[in-house]
Amino acid sequence: MSDETDRDHSGEALEWDGGEMSKIKSKIRIIAAPPGEAPLWVREKWIGLELPLTGGASPRKYLTLGALSGPHTFLLQLWAAIRGRVDHIVGFPVETVKAIDILEISSPEAAAWWRENTPELIRPRRFLIFHAEVCHVVAE
């Protein structure tokens, strides 16, 4: 490898310490209210939280659908993408279940809002994409 740090697909950094490779888990700290369809009071509750990354410590481009307005089935999501009804976001993916669990510690009301209004997102292998401009990457 030509770099001292590389990423695997789990969001962990592989750091070269002169003789060994060691894993460093990366997180993002939310530094401003993320854009989105949730009410402002709910989005403001993310500020200051540290969330585990799943896609590496560099922001990437993602096609996204609205948490409230987006279609809920795979076929309808695919149809929306084909028709160009998706947003292009540069950001960081965080597993929804983990993110909401962390949010619940500091704001049970905001976590309850997500669970009540977007139950289809609160399950394994679903992700929230946090815009890069409201995130700061931190290493564990």
How confident is the model at residue 66, as a pLDDT?
A: 84
Q: How many domains does the chain have?
A: 1
Token pair of 80, please? 């929306």
Q: The pTM is what?
A: 0.79
Residue 6 maps to a domain: no
Average pLDDT in the 8-28 region? 49
Q: Tell whether 4 is covered by a domain.
A: no
Would 16 be classed as within a structural domain? no
Residues 6+ apart with CB under 8 A from 60: 90, 91, 92
Q: Mean per-residue pLDDT for 55-83? A: 85
**Does 10 reside within a domain?**
no
Report the alpha-carbon distance of residue 11 to residue 54 in Å, rounded.
4
Asked whether residue 11 is domain-assigned, the answer is: no
What's the confidence (pLDDT) of residue 29? 98
Could you list the residue range(s) of the whole structural domain that residue 92 is in? 31-47+55-133
Higher pLDDT, 113 or 57: 113
Per-residue model confidence (pLDDT) at position 140: 67
Alpha carbon separation from 96 to 3, 29, 47, 79, 120 (Å, rounded) = 31, 15, 16, 23, 10
**How many residues can be counted in the chain?**
140
